[in-house]
Amino acid sequence: MTRDGPDRPREKLIAAKTAWAEERRAIAGRSGPADARRPPGQDIVSDWPVLDLGVRPLIDLRDWRMTVAGAIERPLTWRWADLMAAPQVDSVSDIHCVTGWSRLDNSWQGVATRHLARLVRPRSTAKHVVLHGYDGYTTNMTVEDFLRPDALLAHGWNGAPLPRDHGGPLRLVAPSRYFWKSAKWVRHVVFLEKDSPGFWEARGYHPTGDPWREQRYR
């Protein structure tokens, strides 16, 4: 792609978001008091902002695949019917975005990451997970965080198909971490023995990203 080609707006957006992250880093810590539902420095919103790199892949369910690979006993490729045949969960959780907004009581439908782990059987040496989106986005987290009981691969929101803008047909929802860890348009899940920073983690975001400890930037 040339510098004037179609990737130009995406580069600009990434540059703007990175600069913005630098700025926030300087003021991090000056945030208001937390309460039981609101981590430090967060404001509750009722709308649901769309945040990504500006590429929102359109994936036909007939072509959709999700692979799970790496340090596991049983690598797996799912088609849509496999996802739907797996045990389904319905779970309500809060979104905390590193940009400072939180959205409470989101209702998700999908498959628990713990169920996936039972199928693929991570080796005892597997300590990290990297998620890859159909848009090329990546994010990393520990196996422990990926397998928390409230984490799921979500295809539904409020009982309807998850909208494409928000990562449909399938995204991760990992409520214990800032929302950048919840990869949209999930395509590959890779278990690793060693950590490997994802897209934002390589650009200064915190490797763990716990909103309750305000781990925004490294």
Residue 137 binding partner per list Mo ion, ligand MTE, none, with a CB distance cut-off of 5 to 8 Å that depends on partner kind = ligand MTE
Closest distance of CB 125 from ligand MTE, Å: 27
Q: For ligand MTE, which residue of 129, 185, 188, 198 counts as binding (CB under 6 A)? A: 185
Q: By C-beta, is 120 or 183 nearer to ligand MTE?
A: 183
Closest to 158 in 3D by CA, of 96, 93, 114, 82:
93
Interface with ligand MTE, residue 72, by CB under 6 A: no
Question: What are 97's two structure tokens?
Answer: 């975005």
Among 108, 137, 180, 199, binds Mo ion (CB under 5 A): 180
CA torsion, ordered 12, 16, 18, 24, to nearest 10 deg: 180
Q: Which of 21, 117, 129, 183 binds ligand MTE (CB under 6 A)?
A: 183
Residue 179 binds ligand MTE (CB under 6 A): yes
Residue 135 binds which of Mo ion, ligand MTE, none (CB < 5-8 A, kind-dependent): ligand MTE
Nearest-approach distance from CB 159 to Mo ion, in angstroms: 25
Candidates 51, 69, 89, 192; binder of Mo ion (CB under 5 A) is 51
Q: What would the two tokens of residue 109 be? A: 């439908």
Contact 96, 178 (CB under 8 A): yes
Distance, in Å, from the CA atom of 182 to the CA atom of 23, rounded to the nearest integer, reads 23
Q: Which is nearer to Mo ion, 108 or 180 (CB)?
A: 180
Distance CA 112, CA 165 (A): 22
Give the SS3 label for residue 166: helix
Residue among 96, 128, 166, 188 that touches ligand MTE (CB under 6 A): 166
Selected range binding Mo ion among 39-47, 49-57, 66-74, 147-155, rule: CB under 5 A: 49-57
For Cα atoms 41, 46, 50, give the angle at the middle one, nearest 5 degrees: 85
Q: Which residues contact 193 (CB under 8 A, 6 or more apart)?
A: 71, 125, 126, 127, 128
Residues in the chain: 218
The contact set with Mo ion (CB under 5 A) reads: 51, 180
Binding site for ligand MTE (CB under 6 A): 48-53, 97, 133, 135, 137, 166-167, 179-180, 182-185
